[in-house]
Amino acid sequence: MKYESQKVALAYFIVALALFAVQVTVGLVAGYVYVAPNFLSELLPFNILRMLHTNSLIVWLLLGFFGAAYYLIPEESETEIHSVKLAYIQLAILVVGALGAVIGYVFRIHEGREFLEQPLWVKLGIVVGALIFLFNVSMTVLKGRKTAITNVLLLGLWGIAIFFLFSLYNPSNLSVDKMYWWYVVHLWVEGVWELVMAAILAFLMLKMTGVDREVIEKWLYAIVALSLFTGLLGTGHHYYWIGTPSYWQWIGSIFSSLEVLPFFAMVLFTFNMVWKRRREHPNNAALLWALGCAVLAFFGAGVWGFMHTLHGVNYYTHGTQVTAAHGHLAFFGAYVSLNLAVMTYAMPYLLGRQPYNQVLNMLSFWVMSSAMAFMTFTLTFAGVVQTHLQRVLGQGFMEVQDQMQLFYILRLGAGVMVVVGAVMFLWSIFGPVKPELIERDTSAAPAE
């Protein structure tokens, strides 16, 4: 850590990880409700649980992005953050908003568009927090060195704020509502969030592999170009069946199929950089998470997204457990892993501890990733069964759900393992530092 103000990131990461704990815990409860549907059905019905699960996910990922930005921008810009005080004020606003939303949901205070259930005052708080953030980081970048990483990161973060404004528009025509709802949801996760993701991955590669900045930044521009060239018109895959014109079936199918490309490019990029590395960075756990992020995002967002994106397929799979399968692995691969990667990288510096529990952290990667993969497989199987019975044979929804019970039990098991992995991760970061479980041998001479 070269700049004092980078320390701001620590507070952001701690709050983010606390919400991560909330997210996986509520996720586990919701997974249990699928198996034992009478559980909590009056106290905390499923709709409330799901709001808590998805909203805490979104907010902790955003807090992680903000923390990552505060961590990396000083190093990239070679200057202290414009105002540390503003950064903490921003965090305080977002924490009050997040807590207000969570507590409010429990007492049935919410709006009702999926993922945008926050009451208006929370939405406005988010906008104010985002404006403070953008002012703060933009001023920092303006007074310091400008790099491709900060350019792309800032563009992504500005995009997040701008597209969020569409959440304030709620027309009474459901089809129009849905069209602009996707301006927030799709243009975030399959648009500007990818810019943030690519920029953070580029920063991690720069630091950990020591490959030339010129090479890394060229990759970065190529990746984000692929992201937006495919992702913007790829929104069309949400415009198949909501009342929008039929030409979206072709535009959506073609461009969203190509959305695989930026994720594949991220796999090529990260593995190439590690292959060509010029230094051995001691933080292998962070490297593992970064490589894992690229691979799991490619499968979760790329392959699993492609699986049901062609309109002829989507006609049958739309809104089944296939979508749930894709959603889970895409978010875990692309954005959860990314956040855990940058936290794994930055935390030892922020907490001033070296060495730290790397082996435990790497184990948590394998436990969480394999559990998420298993969850994705079970939901995919469930979705295939559902698609056939409900959409081809025309059986009733609840009748079909009863036949998917086995998969929901398996998914609950996977959920338990995700929570175990998350606890291991948190322990590796915050628990006492112990000698590594496996001693590292750094004396070996290169083989002839």
Q: 139, 82 in Cβ contact below 8 A?
A: yes
User: What's the rounded Cα separation, in Å, for the pair 384 and 306?
Assistant: 15
User: What's the rounded Cα separation, in Å, for the pair 123 and 93?
Assistant: 11
3-class DSSP string for 279-303: CCCCCHHHHHHHHHHHHHHHHHHHH
Question: Is 228 a residue that touches another protein (CB under 8 A)?
Answer: yes
The nearest distance, CB 69 to another protein, in angstroms, is 20
Q: How far apart are the first and last CA of the chain?
A: 37
Long-range contacts of 384-387 (CB under 8 A, 24+ apart): 384/322, 386/320, 386/321, 386/322, 387/316, 387/317, 387/320, 387/322
Question: Which is closer to another protein, CB of 82 or CB of 311?
Answer: 311
Question: Is 50 a residue that touches another protein (CB under 8 A)?
Answer: yes
Q: What residue has token string 């903000």?
A: 66
The nearest distance, CB 416 to another protein, in angstroms, is 20
Question: Which is closer to another protein, CB of 319 or CB of 431?
Answer: 319
Binding to another protein (CB under 8 A) within 139-158 occurs at 148
Q: State which of residues 241, 264, 299, 306 lies at the interface with another protein (CB under 8 A).
A: 241
Q: State which of residues 28, 86, 127, 222 lies at the interface with another protein (CB under 8 A).
A: 222
Token couple for 334: 């692309």
Q: State which of residues 249, 309, 344, 357 lies at the interface with another protein (CB under 8 A).
A: 249
> Which region, judged by CB under 8 A, interacts with another protein, from 19-27, 96-104, 248-256, 427-435?
248-256
Which value, to the nearest 10 degrees, does the dihedral of the CA atoms of residues 233, 239, 244, 246 take?
80
Question: Is 229 a residue that touches another protein (CB under 8 A)?
Answer: yes
Q: State which of residues 248, 332, 335, 381 lies at the interface with another protein (CB under 8 A).
A: 248
Question: Is 178 a residue that touches another protein (CB under 8 A)?
Answer: yes
Question: Which is closer to another protein, CB of 82 or CB of 178?
Answer: 178
Q: What residue has token string 């002012």?
A: 135
Q: 368, 421 in Cβ contact below 8 A?
A: yes
User: What's the rounded Cα separation, in Å, for the pair 25 and 113?
Assistant: 23
Q: State which of residues 84, 161, 232, 351 lies at the interface with another protein (CB under 8 A).
A: 232
Q: What is the x/- site pattern for another protein, positions 364-403, by CB under 8 A?
A: --------------------------xxxxxxxxx--x--
Binding to another protein (CB under 8 A) within 300-359 occurs at 315-316, 318-321, 323-324
Question: Is 258 a residue that touches another protein (CB under 8 A)?
Answer: no
Q: What is the x/- site pattern for another protein, positions 57-96, by CB under 8 A?
A: ----------------------------------------
Question: Which is closer to another protein, CB of 109 or CB of 131?
Answer: 109
User: What's the rounded Cα separation, in Å, for the pair 116 and 397?
Assistant: 26
Nearest CA-CA partner of 333 in 236, 193, 126, 228: 193
Q: Judged by CB under 8 A, how many residues of this single chain contact another protein? A: 71
Question: Is 235 a residue that touches another protein (CB under 8 A)?
Answer: yes
Q: State which of residues 107, 214, 445, 447 lies at the interface with another protein (CB under 8 A).
A: 214
Question: Is 406 a residue that touches another protein (CB under 8 A)?
Answer: no
- Length of the chain as a residue count: 448
> Which region, judged by CB under 8 A, interacts with another protein, from 21-29, 125-133, 238-246, 292-300?
238-246
DSSP state of 302: I
HSE at residue 213, side-chain half, CA atoms within 13 A, is 7
